[in-house]
């Protein structure tokens, strides 16, 4: 039997939001993700016998497959359940059933409250795989990707162009703690939530990063070494698609907009991308695009997260 390596554990039982991971733990998680990527075979028995529940209210490709593959490649397994969480029975009952059968719950939800309620009632770790407020698992992979291309984060600048949504929130919170300056470039009325912006700025004050919001793309992209965008109408906002298309038309990431950023700036997207809407095919298929590096690193960052939330193989 292969020896099981040791790895740091998170002080918090859950990952309901980026704030459940401290600054030091975030760095440790990314260091572990890099090690898992370098030597995956060293971790193949680390979670032997562990079973992960996947509760998905929203369609998924990257999140579902990477959590399933991560669980299996670490020696465990994963079970998927789709549909509304709490539709047939209270969320509290869902949590108290799953804790009897499985070792960790991954939830991809519409409402942050669903994730919070699962964590409140479950005696096993709960992971936010996406909610209306946060997308921590995506941003962990993004930070790993930037470290691979830049060697670190401090002193660099990223511009997020589009809706001040869950991706923008997590980018600001995690970027600020790593010393990465983040500017959210949005149409008026689509800025990030003030309380999350304030929290990110408080972190930035400690690391020297700058967290800002701009409505003018030229202002927001000046000096940006990475340009990140997302769909204009996230799941749950499809009814606003036409209105948002009008509001965001001037914020499409195309060659002209990329020219406003620093020379050689990377292009990032959490995928799926609506080509010729928020980004052109020319940009997403260009050599500056790292979108598939981001997608690959979902696997490695989530392996690190599972390792840091579970204390090794089943006893």
Alpha helices in 102-185 (DSSP H): 112-121, 136-150, 166-178
Long-range contacts of 92-101 (CB under 8 A, 24+ apart): 92/117, 92/120, 92/121, 94/55, 94/118, 95/120, 95/121, 95/122, 95/126, 96/121, 96/122, 98/53, 98/55, 98/122, 98/124, 99/123, 99/124, 101/51, 101/53
* Gap between the Cα atoms of 33 and 305, Å rounded: 8
**Catalytic site residue 156?**
no
* Gap between the Cα atoms of 197 and 215, Å rounded: 15
Catalytic residue among 270, 294, 300, 302: 270
Q: Among 194, 197, 272, 192, which Cα is nearest to 229's?
A: 272
**Catalytic site residue 274?**
no
Catalytic residue among 50, 62, 135, 177: 135
Neighbouring CB atoms inside 10 A of 255's CB total: 10
**Catalytic site residue 48?**
no
**Catalytic site residue 135?**
yes
Q: Residues 6 or more apart from 225 whose CB is under 8 A from it? A: 150, 156, 157, 158, 261, 262, 264, 265, 266
* Gap between the Cα atoms of 62 and 294, Å rounded: 10
Q: Residues 6 or more apart from 234 whose CB is under 8 A from it? A: 163, 165, 166
Catalytic residue among 18, 137, 138, 147: 138
Q: How many distinct helices (H) and strands (E) make up the chain?
A: 12, 9
* Gap between the Cα atoms of 169 and 174, Å rounded: 9
- CA atoms within 13 Å, Cβ hemisphere of 88: 6
**Catalytic site residue 230?**
yes
Catalytic residue among 156, 244, 269, 298: 298
Catalytic residue among 108, 177, 244, 269: 108
Catalytic residue among 117, 230, 252, 300: 230
- Dig out the tokens for 57 from the structure: 């209210």
**Catalytic site residue 311?**
no
Active site residues: 108, 135, 138, 230, 270, 298
């Amino acid at each position: 039997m292969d020896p099981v390596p040791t790895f740091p554990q998170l002080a918090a039982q859950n990952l309901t939001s980026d704030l459940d991971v401290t600054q030091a733990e975030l760095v440790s998680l990314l260091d572990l993700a890099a090690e898992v990527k370098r030597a995956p075979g060293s971790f193949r028995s680390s979670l032997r016998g562990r079973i992960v529940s996947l509760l998905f209210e929203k369609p998924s490709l990257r999140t579902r497959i990477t959590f399933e593959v991560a669980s299996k490649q670490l020696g465990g397994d994963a079970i998927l359940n789709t549909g509304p969480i709490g539709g047939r029975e209270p969320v509290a009952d869902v949590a108290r059933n799953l804790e009897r059968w499985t070792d960790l719950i991954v939830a991809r939800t519409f409402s942050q409250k669903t994730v919070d309620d699962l964590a409140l009632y479950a005696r096993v770790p709960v992971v936010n795989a996406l909610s209306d407020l946060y997308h921590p698992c995506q941003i962990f992979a993004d930070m790993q990707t930037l470290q691979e291309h830049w060697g670190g984060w401090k002193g660099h600048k990223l511009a997020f162009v589009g809706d001040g949504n869950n991706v923008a929130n997590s980018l600001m919170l995690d970027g600020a703690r790593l010393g990465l300056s983040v500017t959210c470039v949005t149409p008026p009325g689509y800025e990030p939530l003030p309380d999350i912006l304030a929290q990110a700025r408080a972190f930035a004050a400690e690391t020297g990063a700058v967290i800002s919001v701009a409505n003018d793309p030229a202002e927001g992209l000046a000096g940006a070494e990475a340009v990140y965008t997302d769909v204009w109408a996230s799941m749950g906002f499809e009814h606003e698609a036409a209105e948002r298309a009008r509001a965001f038309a001037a914020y499409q990431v195309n060659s002209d907009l990329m020219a406003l950023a620093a020379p050689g700036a990377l292009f990032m997207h959490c995928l799926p991308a609506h080509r010729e809407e928020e980004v052109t095919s020319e940009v997403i298929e260009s050599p500056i695009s790292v979108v598939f590096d981001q997608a690959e690193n979902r696997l490695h960052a989530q392996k690190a997260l599972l390792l840091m939330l579970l204390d090794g193989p089943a006893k």
